[in-house]
Structure 1
């Protein structure tokens, strides 16, 4: 098997996983069901309930669009750097707004670290793929 092909398959898996995770996070808890925890995060930042609901839905749309970018740009390291930055930023926001979320069974730390590490791995794979394509 071609070395590039063997690197491309795990990269493709990471791309699809990140796309699905972002689309799910944008659609299910923010738009479809409007989870109370999501709404509470916005309210803790000083938004009224109605404005918090709008902000939550808008952030859901942004997350869906961001997730779709992983389907479109298959070897864009910049997208993965944005993902890492976003995961760190969202973790810090939750830590600042209400640190108790980090003690829950399903908490932002678990998801955010996993998604950031997927992007770190993808960056390494992309760099290796680019290196392989210049050596042939």
Structure 2
């Protein structure tokens, strides 16, 4: 039996993986130096910065799981686009030098937003064919 993944499923898996990975590894397992820089840039103390980073990690993991289950919900996909856009704007305002680093939020977030539009277009086509 051959498993054929549709573009919507590939986009779903990539978006979910990204939220889970970015929530677990640079925030929950080990707080990356860049995470510390970003939370420090808004004036948080070390203790509050630690708490905010851990809460952000948990939130990202929860959203990744919600997205995986409810990826066919237009509002969840739009929330994904809004969240990714907001995070990109946050970095542009508070840590603009990160926008020119390797593997930066521009390339990551724009790609994930693009996958979100693939899902929205596929959902639109499915609903129009019913």
Scaled to the shorter chain, the TM-score interval is over 0.9
Runs of 4+ in 1 over 6 A off after TM superposition: none
Counterpart of 1:102? 99
Shift of 1:46: 0.8
Shift of 1:14: 1.1
Q: Distance in 1 between matches of 2:119 and 2:126?
A: 10
**Larger Rg: 1 or 2?**
1
TM-score normalized by structure 1? 0.89
Structure 1 stretches of 5 or more lacking a match?
Answer: 1-5
Structure 2 stretches of 5 or more lacking a match?
Answer: none
Shift of 1:130: 1.2
Q: Is the 8 A contact 1:12 1:74 kept in 2?
A: no
Alignment of 1:48-59 (within 5 A): 48-59=45-56
Task: Show CA shifts across 1:42-88 (max 9, x none).
Answer: 11101011110110010000000000012211311111111111111
Q: Distance in 1 between matches of 2:6 and 2:108?
A: 23
**What is the count of residue pairs matched by the alignment?**
127
Q: Distance in 2 between matches of 1:23 and 1:42?
A: 20
Q: Distance in 2 between matches of 1:125 and 1:66?
A: 21
